[in-house]
Structure 1
Amino acid sequence: MLKTKLSLAALLVSVSLLSACGDSTTNIVEKDPIADDDDDHDHDHGDISAVGRLVISAKDSNLVSVYELEDGSLLDTFAVADTPSALAASASKRYALVVQRTTDRVEFVDGGLFQEDHVDHLHDYQQAPALSSFILSESRPTHITSTDSQVAVFFDGDAASGTPAALAVITDADITTDSNGYPVLHYSTHMHGAAQARGEYVLSTIRDANSATTLPDKVGVYHAHDDHFHEELVFDELCPGLHGSAQNEHVIAFGCTDGVLVIAQEDETFTASKIANTDDFSGTMRIGTLVGAEHAEHLVGFAGASMFAIHAEDGEMELVDWQGTEGASLVGYGFADGGEKFVLLDSLGYLTILNYHGHEHEGAAEEPAFEIAGKVQLTEADVSTMPEGSRFELAISASDDKVYVTNPIDNTLLTVDVADAEVVATKQLSFVPHKLVWLGIAAPAEAHDH
């Protein structure tokens, strides 16, 4: 079973952790009183949090904590089955996916902030965080990608045990209702794969079972039919050593050793093409990570610490001079401030902030897609004292211009204003932080359109 349910006894024992991409078309928002679990239904009539909440896991621990960003207060701490290997946000950013890769499990923490479409307006809700009974259970959950309506969870499978890979596409409604009717794709062999959900379709990787590598080299289109997928198309274009995927409104892309495989969607038709590596690539350099945002024209590709702006529709790939810190590796990145910025967190504790000029507006063609806006030194501590197995970690707000960084050297949480390129708050944590993710009610995309 891909999904399992916890009995009450199991819950007690456990207490000890890239679609129909539509945007909201209304800007009317009502705020409900804060929900309370008390039987008498008394409510705290304070405002709903606009800045959101953070879920932070503790190093070498199965504990995950939920913090209210409005005042920095600790709302609750939950014990999951095992130490989280990663945290990710669900499609609407209500839930945190608590990935436990080595024990084949994904649990879900309800952050308590969510929005419902009431036809003539969007209604905001706030309630206490909670550990959900919804669980995904399959071999080696690894790559998680999301749109604003769906999350694709790719399970690599396990070569040693002969367990094949699997893929699940879920929505926040599936998590909320504890559903088992979401579509699942079961493979016949293991692979270190990737997938991108597109409404009724999912584009996912394919690996030859006789391949000497765990990396796939093909991509297929699969159509959801109730609780499973049917294969619709396998593209002829090869993508050797495939690793990394992303999408925007028009295209889906996968990283290959020889370039980027780009798949365009027009209604129910998918077509593939290839953008070859440029002269900026040398040796074993290849795009192994891709980042996208729905309304961003460019995808961002990383070959190590080298950043490339990829305009997939025009078939262009350009090296971005982001002036990385010498000797540093990248540990976090992503679009921020509603897509107006792109941030890069490095291993030496610097946050580089880039302005993104790739939107369709007058003059865009006359300036680079990404341009340095600022660089913030997050710590003056000796980074060689970083605890073994730890690193700086990044979470990006979807409601404002803030990003959050945890520093395991001194167990602090930093709030960075990317518009002003400065640290605006520091919070002392009572544990060594490991992973973190932002949850909350995202700002409407219209607020950032040009």
Structure 2
Amino acid sequence: MMIVRWLPAAALVAFGLTGPVFAQAAAQDQPQAVRAAVTDHVAASVAVLDLLTGAVLARFETGGPGGLRPGAAPGQLSLAQGPAGRVDVVDLGLGVESHGDHADLAISPPRLLPRVAEGPKPSHVLGGNGRLASFFDGDGSIVLAQDGQTRRLSANVAHHGLAYPFLASEGPRLLVSHAASPGARPGGVVLLDEAGAELARRDDCPRLHGEAQSNRVIGLGCGDGVLLLDTRTQRFRKVAYPAGGEAGRMVRSLAGGADFHLFAGDFGPQAMTILDPDAGSFAVVELPARRLAFTLDPQRAAALFVLTEDGRIHRIDTLNGRIAASAAAVPRYSLEGGAAVARPRLSAAGGLLAVTDPARGRVLVLDAATLAPLREIALGGAPLNVLALAASGERH
């Protein structure tokens, strides 16, 4: 049995999902705004949706199709456009201002902040504590953006890597991947201080790919386990994958919880894994079909959602490692054809689950607790990546 620690939740929620354990609390503390950004598989644009009403609030022209990640500030998302060589920021117009005994909700029109960073082949863009770090695979450069100012650093060689900004008690820190040669898969990370000086190094993360943060701990997917960095102590440790697993299975994409201290990740084409970083233990959840996409709400991490190629959504209880419910969501999508084929993605917030259906030019909104369909938003084109945020608070 996994033992997962509970931690307090915040008012602004990214990738929000929910399950039965949170149904009563969610009903009592319903977010007042839930918005999502959606990119297209082909078109150079991003749309902002109101998931509560189904309204399309805005459409912005970008440099090209891209991937969405949480931004440096609450309510913001990054949009990395590889072929266009640029990173934009989408501000969803959701703000929460704390006043101690309560929080005020500020809603404003969405806006696009274009060209926050530029360079060859931007890939992983990671934000936190007001800083946004864009890693450019083409030359191994890193652009750090903060308060409208940017500066450029470099990894040891060009590779498909990452730069993870975080704030330690001693000041800003940056975790940067390194590779043995240009174009090789990264095999470890270095920890840098604000001036770019090396503080620590780990060379034992072969085929590094996938990263997430669960409160004070950053997790990195490696070929032989998950490498963990405690951002408070700045110490590393490694949790090996469970014995007896299929040869070659590894975590390539991670998500981290905030209210529960855990990580969820893919584990081969037809399984998920859940890591308790405190206990150093894994749970492996086998899926009934091959996985298309998954998402975890940091603030409601007792539930994990997985979309499989048969078009069904599966809600997994992360506390016991079992599939709790399943329901049909979209028609079948084959995994054949590689990245050239647009396939659904999913994200959720505020008790709502958004699922893109690129073949039919729509976004489906489901009740995250029951998996029941609520509404359909027609966008046209081929909606692909989606990232949802929810915000709650008093309005004056």
Normalization by structure 1: what TM-score?
0.72
Distance in 2, matches of 1:278 and 1:50, equals: 42
Distance in 2, matches of 1:71 and 1:97, equals: 24
- RMSD over aligned Cα, in angstroms? 3.1
The answer for the alignment partner of 1:102 in structure 2 is: 83
Distance in 2, matches of 1:442 and 1:145, equals: 24
Match of 1:438 among 383, 388, 392: 388
Distance in 1, matches of 2:144 and 2:53, equals: 36
Change (3 A) 1:293 1:131: same
Give the aligned residue type for 2:302: E
1:79 is the counterpart of 2:61? yes
The answer for the alignment partner of 2:133 in structure 1 is: 153
The answer for the alignment partner of 2:112 in structure 1 is: 131
Contact 1:218–1:239 under 8 Å retained in 2: yes
Q: SS where residue 409 of structure 1 aligns?
A: helix
Distance in 2, matches of 1:300 and 1:436, equals: 19
The answer for the alignment partner of 2:190 in structure 1 is: 220
Distance in 2, matches of 1:67 and 1:90, equals: 17
1:347 is the counterpart of 2:323? no
State the 1:218 CA deviation.
1.8
1:62 is the counterpart of 2:44? yes
Segment drifting more, 337-346 vs 99-108: 337-346
Match of 1:164 among 134, 140, 152: 140
State the 1:374 CA deviation.
0.7
State the 1:188 CA deviation.
3.8
Larger of the two Rg values belongs to structure: 1
1:331 is the counterpart of 2:293? yes
The answer for the alignment partner of 2:267 in structure 1 is: 303
Give the aligned residue type for 1:346: T
Change (3 A) 1:342 1:22: closer
Give the aligned residue type for 2:309: S
Contact 1:240–1:257 under 8 Å retained in 2: yes
Change (3 A) 1:425 1:85: same
The answer for the alignment partner of 1:260 in structure 2 is: 226
What residue ranges of structure 1 are gaps of 5+ in the alignment? 1-20, 26-47, 358-367, 445-450
Contact 1:195–1:202 under 8 Å retained in 2: yes
Give the aligned residue type for 2:149: N
Structure 1 segment 145-294 matched on structure 2, within 5 A: 145-147=126-128, 149-150=129-130, 152-158=132-138, 163-168=139-144, 170=146, 174=147, 179-180=148-149, 184-199=152-167, 200-208=172-180, 210=181, 214-225=184-195, 229-235=196-202, 238-265=204-231, 267=232, 269-294=233-258
Give the aligned residue type for 1:283: A
Contact 1:331–1:346 under 8 Å retained in 2: yes
What residue ranges of structure 2 are gaps of 5+ in the alignment? 1-6, 12-29
Structure 1 segment 18-97 matched on structure 2, within 5 A: 50-80=32-62, 82-97=63-78
Match of 2:355 among 405, 412, 415: 405
Change (3 A) 1:50 1:91: farther
Contact 1:342–1:354 under 8 Å retained in 2: yes
Q: SS where residue 359 of structure 2 aligns?
A: coil
Change (3 A) 1:259 1:386: closer
Distance in 2, matches of 1:304 and 1:126, equals: 41
Contact 1:336–1:343 under 8 Å retained in 2: no
Segment drifting more, 249-258 vs 115-124: 115-124
Contact 1:89–1:439 under 8 Å retained in 2: no
Distance in 1, matches of 2:249 and 2:48, equals: 39
The answer for the alignment partner of 1:113 in structure 2 is: 94
Distance in 2, matches of 1:386 and 1:423, equals: 27
Greater RCO, CA 8 A, separation 6+: 2
The answer for the alignment partner of 2:17 in structure 1 is: none
Contact 1:338–1:401 under 8 Å retained in 2: no
| Count of residue pairs the alignment pairs up | 363
Change (3 A) 1:290 1:68: closer
Normalization by structure 2: what TM-score?
0.81
Distance in 2, matches of 1:54 and 1:72, equals: 10
Distance in 1, matches of 2:74 and 2:95, equals: 8
Give the aligned residue type for 2:246: S
State the 1:257 CA deviation.
1.4
1:373 is the counterpart of 2:324? yes
Contact 2:348–2:389 under 8 Å retained in 1: no
Give the aligned residue type for 2:348: I
1:396 is the counterpart of 2:348? yes
- CA deviations on 1:212-256 (whole Å, 9 max, x unpaired) are x5222122222224xxx3321223x51112111222124222222
Contact 2:258–2:298 under 8 Å retained in 1: no
State the 1:123 CA deviation.
2.6
- CA deviations on 1:248-303 (whole Å, 9 max, x unpaired) are 124222222122222234x4x32222222322323322222222123322212322
Name the % identity: 21
Change (3 A) 1:62 1:307: same
Change (3 A) 1:319 1:280: farther
Contact 2:70–2:77 under 8 Å retained in 1: yes
Q: SS where residue 184 of structure 2 aligns?
A: coil
| Larger strand percent | 2
